[in-house]
Structure 1
């Protein structure tokens, strides 16, 4: 396959998986590592990818990538993470799900839960949970972010402050090596901080592609989270922070039923 055809496929692979590696691309295309490195360098120079050690990722910056692209990144991992998270939500719980493609996946996994009270600032989640006839779904006010169906701003915060949730399920745009939870929209961050304050337990759901990304606004820290659901090992600093703060880490696909008897 020539470079003209190879480059678009490399970008599509990065969109699906969040990251591409030199070794993986060599195996996929049957070309030399030098050829792949040249492709990745040229794609980075064009602003379509960002070079990292051993490969490349979708470009970071001060603006998030498109919603439809985010939905496709690590889709299988997001579903696995969502299933793991849903196991820890008992029937009859009150919970909040915020904006994010992984929290949307969690909503799908809650369709058979009974007696839920769900508050969300995500129009897509509200539509999904309308398929659960036994769930009471409340949508916050706020300014509509048309790009992804999110509701942000002071009206969203005011709605959230009227509740004390059993569980909050939040996503993030990026996670730094030292455990900082990061996002792009300062208005969304303000809402998320109020969610954390109004919840008895906070669950973070984020796949490993977030470990390689960067975002400019700090939401909080892994120390603020009770349980973190992901699919890849954490950095040493983040793992140490979780150990010190008592944040439990759950990896998608692993069975923790003998440790936590919270299956609904």
Structure 2
């Protein structure tokens, strides 16, 4: 069995993020063949030095490197990042729902956490997201309506481009995004861009659920303009510049604690 020095372990840990944005602790244990305590010490040291970012369940790229990425992470990778902040955002989003409401919930990990809070509510929920539909089916009593179509595995949605439009309308559309800026909500996946645009036209209000890191990401497709957003829920790491941008477009902003660790 190869025994690595600390410097070699740190290089291997950093190399684990060269071709993917997230690695689990189990991944690192398999790569290094050392004790969990050693891996935790290495992660803590690299995190302090700004070489990697410690997240719930593993490691991710540093914030400065993450902001340069323009492609979407798979759902399973994204669901373990910024978990506590996403939960706080989801709790605030649930407060906007009244029993008897008909709502649309899009895909994404923040919306998935939000949907879990809705499971026992007296609501009608429409979704094209397989993870959202699955959690509402397994543990929910709400009235669930699932959009039909082909399964697109990476974003985890059901959608057929040439299918007849769903005759479903709602008071609110809850949606997250890959990025957000002056152009509005942004996605790199063209399918998600079309799907979100279609669902937004079926709701009276658009409610956006994004952590503040999304304001540093620029994806290639603009989906919904800021002026179409009624409410945006984010965390306290929102910059003054981005807060002013939202205020100028008349977006009602709800802030949760952004310093909660996962």
Give the TM interval when normalised to the shorter protein: 0.7 to 0.9
1:25-84 Cα distance to aligned partner (Å, 9 max, x none): 9x94289x8xx47x57xxxxxxx95773xxx427513x3222211111101111111111
Which deviates the most, 99-108 or 124-133? 124-133
Aligned-pair distance for 1:6? 2.9
Equivalent-residue separation in structure 1 for 2:63 and 2:93 (angstroms): 32
8 Å Cα contact 2:85-2:257 kept in structure 1: no
Residues 217-256 of structure 1 correspond to what in structure 2 (within 5 A)? 217-253=221-257
Equivalent-residue separation in structure 2 for 1:237 and 1:179 (angstroms): 15
Aligned-pair distance for 1:251? 1.4
Matched, 1:201 2:201: no
Equivalent-residue separation in structure 2 for 1:168 and 1:157 (angstroms): 20
8 Å Cα contact 1:157-1:190 kept in structure 2: no
1:57 is matched with 66
Aligned-pair distance for 1:237? 4.2
Q: State the superposition RMSD in angstroms.
A: 3.1
Aligned-pair distance for 1:233? 3.8
Residues 69-88 of structure 1 correspond to what in structure 2 (within 5 A)? 69-88=77-96
- Taking a change above 3 Å as real, the CA distance of residues 132 and 29 of structure 1, as seen in their structure-2 partners, is same
8 Å Cα contact 1:15-1:58 kept in structure 2: no
1:198-251 Cα distance to aligned partner (Å, 9 max, x none): 111111001123123231111123321111011134344432232223211111
1:96 is matched with 104
Aligned-pair distance for 1:8? 5.7
Equivalent-residue separation in structure 1 for 2:99 and 2:80 (angstroms): 30
- Taking a change above 3 Å as real, the CA distance of residues 8 and 179 of structure 1, as seen in their structure-2 partners, is farther
| TM-score normalised by length of structure 2 | 0.74
Equivalent-residue separation in structure 2 for 1:132 and 1:112 (angstroms): 5
8 Å Cα contact 1:169-1:202 kept in structure 2: yes
Q: Secondary structure at the match of 1:202?
A: strand
1:152 is matched with 159
- Taking a change above 3 Å as real, the CA distance of residues 69 and 58 of structure 1, as seen in their structure-2 partners, is farther
8 Å Cα contact 2:234-2:256 kept in structure 1: yes
Q: Secondary structure at the match of 2:112?
A: helix
Matched, 1:143 2:150: yes
Matched, 1:129 2:145: no
8 Å Cα contact 1:67-1:147 kept in structure 2: yes
8 Å Cα contact 1:156-1:191 kept in structure 2: no
Aligned-pair distance for 1:7? 4.8
Q: Secondary structure at the match of 1:141?
A: coil
Listed as ranges, the gaps of 5+ residues in structure 2 are 24-40, 53-59
Aligned-pair distance for 1:103? 0.5
1:20 is matched with none
1:29 is matched with 45
Equivalent-residue separation in structure 1 for 2:184 and 2:211 (angstroms): 15
8 Å Cα contact 2:236-2:257 kept in structure 1: no
- Taking a change above 3 Å as real, the CA distance of residues 216 and 185 of structure 1, as seen in their structure-2 partners, is same
Equivalent-residue separation in structure 2 for 1:227 and 1:192 (angstroms): 16
